[in-house]
Amino acid sequence: MNSKELILKRLAADGMPEYPYPEPRVAPQRFDDPAATFAERLAAAGGRAVELRPGETLDEAVRRCYPEARTIASALPGIGMATIDPDRVKDPRELVDVDLGVVAGSFGVAENGAVWIAQDIRHKALYFGATALLIVIPRTEIVHTMHEAVERPETEGFCYGCFMSGPSKTADIEQALVFGAHGPMSVTVLLA
């Protein structure tokens, strides 16, 4: 008998009474304006949320948010200004360091400013290799909490997906917060 088994045997023989787990009494968190809370929390994570203006096309919104972008990778319908179709790229390394990736997100989470992205393009490298990322989600598709988010059908039955909240960041280097250390340097969520 090893030491672990000996300790567990002694604990079991001690005769401590068993107590049932208490029922969880967590009231679901609700926000008066989930979209405003989402934008606030996304900003706290280093990202930004912008709204599609009335009558504005997706191309116009992309140009408004990223006027300097020259190489734009997107397979999203409504993005006619894309210079790279990520579904036609054979080598995912070709998507690294494009100026802007424009992708679809399924929904946002007000609690933490995260967006659920299920892979709907050929290479997920675009999500993490682009210099900047613009994620388009419907304004009406913002849930209050992660508890609600993980129960959504979009989070089931996919090959790859992730929650993204703002640009990549690290604080390991000299205890200074650095953006873009291992992914996009900026993330914008367009509420359409």
Gap between the Cα atoms of 109 and 149, Å rounded? 7
Q: How far is CA 18 from the centre of its chain?
A: 41
Residues 87-116 have a mean pLDDT of 94
Among residues 104, 115, 126, the alpha carbon closest in space to that of 48 is found at: 115
Q: Where are the domains of the chain?
A: 29-191
pLDDT tens for 52-86 read 999 999 999 999 999 999 999 999 998 999 999 99
Q: Over 90: is that where the pLDDT of 187 sits? A: yes
Q: What is the pTM of this model?
A: 0.82
pLDDT given at position 4: 92
CATH number, domain 29-191, options 3.30.70.20, 3.40.50.10420, 3.20.20.70, 3.10.180.10: 3.40.50.10420
pLDDT tens for 160-172 read 889 998 888 877 7
Helices (H) and strands (E) in the chain, counts: 5, 11
Confidence of residue 135 (pLDDT cuts 50, 70, 90): very high
- The C-alpha torsion from 137 through 141 and 147 to 153, rounded to 10°, is -90
Q: How many CB atoms lie within 10 A of CB 12?
A: 9
pLDDT given at position 67: 95
pLDDT given at position 143: 96
